[in-house]
Amino acid sequence: MNELDFSFEDTPWEAYFQTLGPEDSVSAAKLLVLLEEEAEQQVEDAFQDLESASMTLDISGLPRVKAAGEATARLLREMELSKTGITPEQWEENDPLRMYLEEVAAMPAFGDENLLAERASRGEPRAMEQLTNLGLARVLEIAREFTGYGVLLLDLIQEGSLGLWKAVSGYAGGDYPAWRDHWIRFYMAKAVALQARANGVGQKARRGMEDFRQVDERLLTELGRNPTLEEIAEQLHIGMEEAESLRKMLEDARLMARVKQPEEPEENAQDQAVEDTAAFQSRSRILDLLSGLDPQQAQLLTLRFGLEGKPPLTPEETGKRLGLSAQEVVRQEAQALAKLRRGQSKETV
């Protein structure tokens, strides 16, 4: 066997994306390995490129993780309940998730989604509001698929709601349900992938790949033949599924090392000016909305959703910044978002 000569520095995420088509699925596990040594800004750039290309983010290769500390029991319960369905009655009266579910259940949700999508594509505020209300039940349904990966259900719902709004505001024709589901899943998958990165999944996978390579070469010398995957897995004390995943990532790394880096296209000044204007308008709108909240709620949402151009923080990280518990962060976040929704509803009346 020839030595697998690859370097992660020579196989950046841009090269990986160049091997994929716009309809291809991107492995979150593989992407985290490629991003393992990158700065946070590069990580954000990578996910922004995925979003711009409307690619699908596949989290199936990520391990099911358990959060440390107080969130562990909550995650386990959410994962168990998600198998059969989640209702407000399953939670305490003051639980933020129950409050959210009750609020969604009380929202007026009616109309034909396809007709509303056509009207929303023409910028009709009422149609966009109705389409959003109709989609919230779908957000909850899809969120059940993503439980068990270390992200709290309420966080998944809120990320999925951002994806829903992107679908509603960006729809330009075609199969609306498929478009809606794509963006809901993408935003949830991104949250799961970023949590996995925070848990060191990329670093662990990289170490696993190196261990796999070393065992492969050692067994080749000892046996005088290529070892089977079963023999490698036995030496590494891992299951066949994990061994196959490591083998595939090693093969992909070798192939990607041979991909020539694409040249950066010249930036179009006019397009950039349009993008800058849109970004300024979006930021102005966000600041206007946050001005209706008290300072701590505004700061809390800014940290949680990365509204100042920084990566979004988990409830635990946000709590450390503001001197709050994770539960208090989740509770205040739900209250702040409810206040924003009430304010938007009044504007569209």
In Å, what is the CA distance from 336 to each residue of 300, 318, 330, 331, 340? 9, 15, 10, 9, 6
Region of residue 111 (phi > 0: left; psi between -120 and 50: alpha; otherwise: beta):
left
Which of 192-206, 228-242, 269-283, 327-341 shows the lowest mean pLDDT across its residues?
Answer: 269-283
pTM of the model: 0.60
What's the pLDDT band for 349 if we cut at 50, 70, 90? very low
The token duo for 20 is 């994929």
Q: What is the pLDDT of residues 189-227, one digit of tens each?
A: 999 988 888 877 666 666 777 787 788 888 888 887 888
Q: 3-state DSSP call for residue 227?
A: coil
* Mean pLDDT calculated for residue range 180-193: 93
Q: Are the CB atoms for 88 and 102 separated by under 8 Å?
A: yes
Q: Please answer whether residues 181 and 201 qualify as being in contact, where contact means their C-beta atoms are separated by less than 8 angstroms.
A: no
The pLDDT of residue 56 is above 80: yes
Instruction: Name the most confidently modeled range: 106-115, 236-245, 259-268.
Output: 106-115
The CATH label, of 1.10.10.10, 3.90.550.10, 2.60.40.10, 3.40.50.410, for the domain at 279-349 is 1.10.10.10
- Give me the pLDDT at residue 252, please: 60
pLDDT above 80 for 242: no
What confidence category does residue 235 fall into, taking pLDDT thresholds of 50, 70 and 90? confident
| Domains of the chain by residue range | 8-62+200-256, 70-195, 279-349
Helix (H) or strand (E) holding 89: none
Per-residue pLDDT reduced to its tens digit, 19-46: 777 667 888 888 888 887 778 888 888 8
| DSSP letter, residue 326 | H
Residue, of 273 and 321, whose pLDDT is higher: 321
Percent of the chain with pLDDT over 70: 76
